[in-house]
Each structure stands twice: as structure tokens, then as C-alpha cells.
Amino acid sequence: MQFRSTKSKLPLVSYKEAVLSCLPDDGGLYVPDQTADIRQFLFQMNEKTSFNDMVAIVAPSILEGGLNPISASKVAASAYNFQPELIRLNEGLSLLNLYNGPTGIFKDFGIAFLSAILEEFINEGEKAMILSAARADTAVSMAHAFSGRKGISLVLLYPSGQIRGLDPSAFVQNGGNIIPIQVKGTFDDCQRLVVETINDREFSQRYKVTSANTINAGRLLPQVFYYLYAFIQLKNDLSEDLIFSVPSGNFGNLIAGLYAWKFGMPVNGFIAAMNINNSFGDYILGKTFKPKPLVSTNSPALDVSVPLNYERLASFYEEAPAVMRNMVYPSSIGDDLTLQTMEAVYKKYNVHIDPNTAVAFAAAQKVIAEREWNCNAHTVVLATGHPAREASLAEETAGTSIDVPRSLLALKKKCEPVAVISPQLETLESAIASCF
Ligand SMILES: *Cc1c(COP(=O)(O)O)cnc(C)c1O
């Protein structure tokens, strides 16, 4: 599979190039150019296939020469010591638990694979620098994934305020490869600095800078794996339609589902589950996209007004608008219904869910009722966050206590940055240079 920019048809670059140099010169984002067909592999696998075995089989096929099978199985083993888990709630409903990684968030799946494949791609003696904007938990996920990776250093830019949960023994001044830098500014300043640094071609070539943010197409691909995994777990029991309900903020997760479909996974639809920040739903329904001001909700991971993956999603709609309108169903859920759903799911199925997952759960119920979908349809709700991350909310709604894993408690520990800088490109570049 080769990649092209959302802004032009040519030139095409390999997956390796798209990962190591993640922004095309024309200001677009990389998207796959043609897509692989992995149907034959999906039909050979079943509920007995382990997640890592599945990854080792499908990754080389999706990347068509970009990764050989031996490397793929090495990368899978080095990325994943955690797995997705499909929880069958009843005949027509499952939860896909994606929160068993180090930070209790599904983003661990993409970040872990990207870190492992980068290490695999870098040849003996070569170096690369990952420059990423990150808030607390994503920062921890990245630090976990990149810590100790050969030839790679990780610069984490985070906005003013405390940083929590990082392990100082992995920092550069203690002999590690992690460089947390606090930026006196907002998260948007951090994201802007990442793009500016990469676009400073002299600097970014000297240090071989790329990013682990969603601007890197390499992070989308591994998110395809857990959709495929859910499919092979379920396929022998599926009689009719298969629907995924996806809690959506920046829409990376949903786009990964669309790629799984493009690669040949049989699926009938995706529910784009949003909270009250739902202006992107208009776009999905075929209207023009007009961002609305951001509202804070009790499902904060979905509080996004302009999705970072806007261009990637738009490229699907430009190709086949009518098909897309029969594939993606937007739905918006308010705070009250989110809490009621957390309570109802616990009472009915005895499982805790986090508020972001609750949005997807409620959206699934709403869309299925509205569309009178075939009653034999099977819906998979993506559980993107560990319920113990919002323990007090989960406990309040369910009326019982919840065990908080030790790894999640460690996320609360404060730590100091390596440098504190003003939000300017030159300041950032000299702070980075001083670490080497
Ligand atoms: C990031 C996040 C989401 C939203 O995912 P996108 O890919 O940005 O749409 C949903 N739930 C949780 C818990 C998250 O951290």
C-alpha cells in the first residue's frame, strides 16, 4: 500500500516514508492511495486466532511489501502485551473493550504499534525523533511506548499546567530517551509547534523529526486491527448485519473502521457517536461543516469542535458521497442520557462503562430504534476508556465501588519537565538541540 497527500494525487510514498516523514510538503495529510484486499485472510481466521497472530498476518498484507511477515510478528510482539477483549452482552450486542493498555485508553493500540514499527524501520546506527503534542494521558501512553526504543528519542510538548504519570527515570537527563517540554501556552500552541518544526525542513532533516500525533498516518493503521479482531471473533455467529458504534472526537477511530471496511471486512454501518459537540454530524449528513463553539461535557474525550481528521474523512466523502451516507450514521447524546446509560448498562449487564463509551452505547440504541434495523443485526460498541479512569462517576451512577488498577493510579503522580519554554519555534528548537 502506498500513501498520497489529501491535497494531491502524486507523488506516492511508502508506509515507511509516510511514518518517518509524516507531513507532505503540500500541507495535506497522508492517506492510503489504493487499498489492500484482506478478505481471504479474514476467512481463514476465527475466534481461536490470537490478536498478535492476526496482526502478524494482516499487517504485511495491508502494507503489501512495506513489512515482511517475520518483521510483522516481531513488531506485534514488541507492541502488544495487552489485547482487545470482546464482551458478549447478548445475542445482538457486544462491547469491544479497548482499555487494557498502559493508560486505559484505546489510543494505546495505535501508539504502541507505531513505536514498535518505527524501531523496526530504523536501521542500525540511524536515529529518529518523535515530536508530539500531548495532554496527560496521551503523553503517558507515548512515553510508555517509546521508552527505551533503540535510536529513537521522544519530545513531548504539553501545555501549561502539571504533567502527571510520566516516569522520570526514562527522561533524557537520567539516561533515558524521553524529553518532556512544557509550553507556556495552550494545547493548540503545542500542535502548531509540532507542524512548524516538521515543516522547518532543515531542522527536521537534521534530527529526523516525525510525530506520533494523529497527523501521522502510521497511527491510524493499527487501529484497523481491533475492528478486524472483533469481526473474526464474531463471524461464525453473525447471521445478519454488523454495526459498530464509535465514540467520536477527532474521528481517528471511526476512520480506522472505514479502512477496515475498505480492506474487505464485511460491515453494514458505523455509528458516529458524539456528545453535544455534534457540528460534524451535519457534514456527515451532507450539509456544509460549520464548527460550533466547544461545550464542556461529562464525556470530555469527545469535546472537539473541529476534528483533526477532517481532511481524511472528507476524502472518503469526495470519493463516494452516496455510499458514505449509507455507511456512517451520526448521533448526538446529551449529558443526562450519558449518565443514565452508565447506570442502565451496569444494572442490566453488570459491567461498568466510562462516559465516552456510554455515549456510543446510547447512540447505538437510538440509531437502531430510529432506523428499525433488522432485529438480527449485531452491534459492537467500542469501549474506548477504562471505567476506573472516571471512577467516581462510574461509582455514582452504578451505586457500587470500582477497582482502580495500579497502572491507572500511577497516572496521577506529578513530575517535572526537562524545560519550560515560550511557544516559539526558535525557542523549541534550541531547547531540543541542548539535549544532545
Ligand atoms: C480520544 C478518545 C476518544 C475519541 O477518539 P477519536 O479517534 O478522537 O474520535 C474516545 N474515547 C476516549 C476515551 C478517548 O481517549
The verdict on domain 84-103+220-406 having CATH code 3.40.50.1100 is: yes
Question: ∠148-21-320 over CA atoms, to 5°?
Answer: 120
Distance of CA 247 from the midpoint of ligand 1 (Å): 6
pLDDT at 1: 82
Q: Which amino acid is at 327?
A: M
pLDDT tens profile 98-115: 999 999 999 999 999 999
Name the residue at shortest CA distance from atom 13 of ligand 1: 385
- Contacts of 5 by beta carbon, 8 Å cutoff, 6+ apart: 24, 26, 28, 29, 30, 31
pLDDT tens profile 47-96: 999 999 999 999 999 988 889 999 999 999 999 999 999 999 998 999 99
Q: Is the CB of 247 under 6 A from ligand 1?
A: yes
Domains 84-103+220-406 and 127-207+407-436 share a fold: yes
- SS3 string of the chain? CEEEECCCCCCCEEHHHHHHCCCCCCCCCEEECCCCCCHHHHHHCCCCCCHHHHHHHHHHHHHCCCCCHHHHHHHHHHHCCCCCEEEEEECCEEEEECCCCCCCECHHHHHHHHHHHHHHHCCCCCCEEEEEECCHHHHHHHHHHHCCCCCEEEEEEEECCCEECCCHHHEHHHCCCEEEEEECCCHHHHHHHHHHHHHCHHHHHHHCEECCCCCCHHHHHHHHHHHHHHHHHHHHHCCCCEEEEEECCCCHHHHHHHHHHHCCCCCCEEEEEECCCCHHHHHHCCCCCCCCCCCCCCCHHHCCCCCCCHHHHHHHHHHCHHHHHCCEEEEECCHHHHHHHHHHHHHHHCCCCCHHHHHHHHHHHHHHHHHCCCCCCEEEEEECECHHHHHHHHHHHHCCCCCCCHHHHHHHCEECCCEEECCCHHHHHHHHHCCC
Measured from the CA of 256, which atom of ligand 1 is nearest?
A: 7
For CA atoms 91, 96, 100, 105, give the dihedral sign: negative
Specify whether the CB–CB gap between 418 and 171 falls below 8 A.
yes
Measured from the CA of 250, which atom of ligand 1 is nearest?
A: 8
pLDDT bin (cut points 50, 70, 90) of residue 130 is very high
Measured from the CA of 385, which atom of ligand 1 is nearest?
A: 13
Average pLDDT over residues 15-32: 92
pLDDT at 136: 77
Q: Is the CB of 105 under 6 A from ligand 1?
A: yes
pLDDT at 159: 92
CATH of domain 127-207+407-436: 3.40.50.1100
Q: Is the CB of 307 under 6 A from ligand 1?
A: no
Distance of CA 195 from the midpoint of ligand 1 (Å): 21
Between CA 300 and CA 105 the distance in angstroms is 13
Using alpha carbons, select from 85, 13, 18, 1 the residue that is nearest to residue 263. 1
For CA atoms 172, 173, 174, 180, give the dihedral sign: negative
Q: What is the pTM of this model?
A: 0.94
Q: Is the pLDDT of residue 261 over 70?
A: yes
pLDDT at 415: 87
Q: How many residues does the chain have?
A: 436
Average pLDDT over residues 200-217: 94
pLDDT at 9: 85
**For the ranges 205-214, 255-264, 304-313, which has the lowest average pLDDT?**
304-313
pLDDT tens profile 240-257: 899 999 999 999 999 999
Name the residue at shortest CA distance from atom 1 of ligand 1: 301
Between CA 341 and CA 320 the distance in angstroms is 34
pLDDT at 371: 78
Q: Is the pLDDT of residue 269 over 90?
A: yes
Between CA 23 and CA 278 the distance in angstroms is 28
Q: Is the CB of 385 under 6 A from ligand 1?
A: yes
Q: Is the CB of 280 under 6 A from ligand 1?
A: no
Q: Is the CB of 275 under 6 A from ligand 1?
A: no
Q: Is the pLDDT of residue 364 over 90?
A: yes
Q: Which of 253, 259, 304, 381 to mutate to test the pocket of ligand 1 (most atoms within 8 A of CB)?
A: 253
Angle formed by the axes of helices 425-433 and 187-199, nearest 10°: 70
Between CA 2 and CA 64 the distance in angstroms is 9
pLDDT at 34: 80
Q: Is the CB of 222 under 6 A from ligand 1?
A: no
For the chain, the structural domain boundaries read 84-103+220-406, 127-207+407-436
Name the residue at shortest CA distance from atom 2 of ligand 1: 301
Between CA 310 and CA 307 the distance in angstroms is 5
Q: Is the CB of 249 under 6 A from ligand 1?
A: yes
pLDDT tens profile 280-334: 999 999 999 999 999 999 999 999 988 888 888 998 999 899 999 999 999 999 9
pLDDT bin (cut points 50, 70, 90) of residue 273 is very high
Between CA 362 and CA 91 the distance in angstroms is 18
Query: Which range, 8-12, 148-152, 158-162, is most confident?
Result: 148-152
pLDDT at 373: 67
Between CA 274 and CA 359 the distance in angstroms is 7
| Mean per-residue pLDDT over the chain, rounded | 93
Using alpha carbons, select from 136, 120, 106, 112 the residue that is nearest to residue 63. 120
pLDDT tens profile 373-419: 666 789 999 999 999 988 888 888 888 888 888 888 888 888 889 99
Q: Is the CB of 379 under 6 A from ligand 1?
A: no
Terminal-residue alpha carbon distance, the chain: 36
Q: Can you name the residues that pair with 5 across neighbouring β-strands?
A: 30
